[in-house]
Copies of this chain bind each other. A is one copy, B any other.
Amino acid sequence: MSYRTTAFVAAFCMLASAASLCAETTEERLRRGDEVVRSLNAGSSQPTLEGLRAEFPFLADAITGYALGDVWARPVLDARTRQLAAVAAFAALGHRPFMKIHAGYALNAGVKEEELKEIVYLTTVHAGFPRAIEAAQTLSELFKERAQKPGAAK
């Protein structure tokens, strides 16, 4: 495939509003994603993500560059709302390890345990009682783990 300039993208990138997006390098996107994960995770990198980097480098770069650097870095929603929405989606889908990670980020961003419990209660309506019960058990594990780590946000 010859990556010739296509007319569509050339026109788009000449728009003043698109200029800074189009000029951004992947290094800048990766840096921003790395910043985002540290801001969510109390200054540390994310162990699940780092565990993937050696063997699945493209996936690690996609998480850092796209999921964190492009999506999670967007403005409009504040961090609390974004995290509660993510927890609601992961609870409904039954993605327990991801619900746990993002519920921890929510607590770091100032969400209260009581607010996370409300997402569990909503899940009975969205997706039924088994999904809600598993979400409750997931939060319960998280709350215990954080109670044992002094210094973690609560």
Residues in A lying within 8 Å of B, measured CB to CB: 1-6, 8-10, 12-13, 21-32, 34-36, 38-39, 45, 48, 51-52, 55-56, 58-59, 61-64, 66-67, 70-74, 76-77, 80-82, 84-93, 95, 97-98, 114-115, 117-134, 136-137, 140, 143
Contacts and interface: CB of A to CB of B under 8 A. Distances in A.
State the majority secondary structure of interface residues on A.
Answer: helix
Please tell me how many copies of the chain the complex holds: 6
A76 B72 CA distance: 25
A129 to B, nearest CB: 5
Contacts of A26: 21-26, 29
A30 to B, nearest CB: 5
B126 A3 contact: no
